[in-house]
Amino acid sequence: MRNYAVIGDPVGHSRSPGMQNAAFEHYRLGSPYVKRHVRPGELGAFVEEARRTLAGFNCTVPHKSAIIPYLDEVDPKALAASSVNTVTVREDGTLAGTSTDGYGLEMALETNFGRPLAGAEVCFIGCGGAAHATSFHLAERGVRTIRLANRTLSKAEELAEKLRAANPGLAVETALPSDSDTLARWFAATDFLIQATSLGLRETDPAPFDLGLLRPGLRMAVFDTIYLDTPVLRKARQAGLPAAGGAAMLLYQGAKSFEIWTGLAAPIDAMRAGMEGNSS
């Protein structure tokens, strides 16, 4: 059997090998999934090698967008989002790319909060890779409104234009995260707040917006795409709001990749244990 890989720069921290190998082992298919440190300048050489030697690979930072020109086929939603995290190498060496990040977020919201996406009002803080990779999928799943707050307003406006073009019925608004009046108004009408900046990984990081806006009585559930417990999640819990971190998103995006590659049902419990480093 050919191997699978996750490529990134850095890649050492990736939990994908533990999670994916737990799934392969569940089906007695060995441990074919490896980590590969691929720097930006090495992507072309890696792709040529992958065509001959791999069955599939995941892309993480900084390759999710850069991989696209190398692919023979990209699904339209991933192309609109300019973000691919799952590549299948076909028998003839051609490459098909898609993104499972949006599905991962959808399942994380569903399993943590048990609320429907259809008709929901969603607010993203941050418009980088995470928001691009997931917002098109949420739009496709029938959310009514997407509000985008980003420090660099032009990036929020660019993403908003693309979302509107791909989803004619969708309402999209933009603002700066420092505009607390607008955020307070948005939060009063938000079902899901998605923290999608890179802030919160380090204790010294500034808050991505005024956390005093997370008040008791809001109807919104708060999700942080970061894997750890973050100040945003702690403040949300203090305010009595439902809150969850990025672990479930990581789990379900990986589960979908496994299903795309193998056609087998993802063994979720085994994958969760593998992701958390508890697999035997």
* CB 125 to ligand ATR: min, Å: 8
* CB 235 to ligand ATR: min, Å: 17
**Which residue ranges are tagged as binding site?**
14-16, 60, 85, 101, 150-155, 225, 227, 246, 253
In sign, the C-alpha dihedral spanning 257, 261, 266, 271 is negative
* CB 201 to ligand ATR: min, Å: 9
Query: Residue 159 class from Cβ within 10 Å (0-12 exposed, 13-18 middle, 19+ buried)?
Result: buried
Residue nearest to ligand ATR (CB): 128
**Which residue ranges are tagged as binding site for shikimate?**
14-16, 60, 85, 101, 227, 253
Catalytic residue among 64, 77, 162, 256: 64
Of 131 and 270, nearer to ligand ATR (C-beta) is 131
In sign, the C-alpha dihedral spanning 175, 145, 210, 246 is negative
Of 82 and 88, nearer to ligand ATR (C-beta) is 82
DSSP string, 216-255: TT---EEEESSSS--HHHHHHHHTT--EE-THHHHHHHHH
Query: What is the DSSP pairing of strand 86-89 with strand 73-74?
Result: unpaired
77 is catalytic: no
| Site residues (vs ligand ATR, CB under 6 A) | 61, 126-130, 150-152, 155, 197-199, 206, 208
Annotated catalytic residues are 64
